[in-house]
Structure 1
């Protein structure tokens, strides 16, 4: 398949899945900031082969082959300009043939020109921005390695690395004003609504990923390379590449949403108190994992509970391996996860402080949600224990919390079961995608063979016609030859009669 083109469909059409994880419906497309004036002619006339960009969840700015059906200029009632296109490889779920949708002009472009057949195939280098043909769309990523047989492409949002045939990979290019194609400066097409933190090469960061034992954790790393302002190649500080040979530090290509700055927080005493019920992060097996302090074991030593991927773990940690649990919100701001200390007057023995603490606790428990961090429930239990010690009647809230924690535990278990099913589903989708790509290659090969066969048929018809012409000419020449032969025979007989007459005259 030529880079820049989707594989042709040959004879039969299959209903195509849409999106990396096969979402059911194409998402609504964003509208352009400005629309062409009502009198402006369509930039791409009907029938033009184009590519359209899908930005919704599961698509991440993927380009799909389509054909322009119509163009509508901006209307006075506030409706912006838009193209209606018919997909080349996606079918209507209702069985109505090729799927048709409308797109803003900013999300429609001509199909990239195919490579020059006389030129050698593109030579891909590590970290080149490319697009790989997958699930009938062109997905953005970077090259990790390349050979004549396969190109390994990393995708920053799905965090997958997939091997592709070189014919299914093309350099990532942008279509700019004037009809020029230029190398793209970024891999990430869909930008966040607000500003996000931009990292520099060499900067210390932490990367979120799932640990089998300790659940979602943050691993120390360093920004090895800035691909664009929304994606980076990071090098892990304490993780090594799997496989034989000399050990090397593991690297990964990531979207900004999986990265946070490596920062030492110093919260105010009113925001955080390291004691039972406090939400913390514990350093375990090379990463910071969310945990809840269960009890103080000794001077500077704490027993903490960690919600692992498969089960809850209790570990003992010294204070140097604990820190307040902070959330990196919207890729730009920090917010502390642990609740404010509920007992501001307890250590001073003031009754007023206890009353305020109880009031705050009641207001907080009424706002609880099943999606709350486990630390909030454990911290509430710690608060109840302290209030009970000081004479408050908290039996009702203890019963309520015990029931809520049991339901929360079942909810967490079901979430883990769902994650396991999703993981299996992703494996099946990956296998399906590979088979789909193979079918696309088979379709392409069949199309090429059909084209050669048609060429041979046409050539055979020309030869057959030439043969018929030769036979007709031969037949005509045979008639002429027979006529000439008869004339020759007549001439010969006349010649013989002449000499025969001469002989008779001499004899007389």
Structure 2
């Protein structure tokens, strides 16, 4: 993909991150994408480069004894205020959340509940881990200033309680479901992911040729070709990196800003977020994994979906569609 652009500095952000401010820090290091760690702003790191800050982490330490908090110089584009949390929240099936794990907040999706515990699926690591409600919060994107998407629901809930009109709609979760065992037949259309550096967050269309051993399939890509360009590339793929082809989710009018989408680029579908709606059905898409922003036509985008426990989860409206 193209070279990474430098983060855009905003004067309003400088005024927010004053010394002593509690913040959250993101990382683009392999294995840490999609996570946020709390820390405190110590000061600007350099007068020559005002877009860098010295941060002291809250839960990360530079010594094994855990007595010396880790300090690190961070780019402005990796900082945001601490994400807000409702005092009370009933999490719903397929809802996007942040789970507190390994001293940081990790982005995932609710896939089940049992005995007061919640199962969360992490797209980046393809893991499913169980958490208590206290270790979860609704996933939010910072829009700048004090604005978040989705906004804090606490005030609205308090008003409903005062009026005696607290709604229970959507506050029940589906029964916990066992992970569906996937089996693909010869000729099935699938999509394949890769753990190789530079391909994180991408899915490539392929066709199943045959199973090869336990939990592996030989597939033929529909757009990737061999080095000599004589035929389509064939490869043995572990079942953890294969999913059915997602159903069509047609967006007739237009995508909205902050919609999570897949963008068709370099023969694959790459996960990104609509950062700006342009004219003539064009959009700018921001890729969190690479800090890149690129322009796409409407026809080159589709709503992002996750295949979890035998269901397709459409992230635009939290909908699920059975497959």
| TM-score computed with the length of structure 1 as normaliser | 0.32
- Greater Cα radius of gyration, structure 1 or 2: 1
| Greater fraction strand | 2
| Greater fraction helix | 1
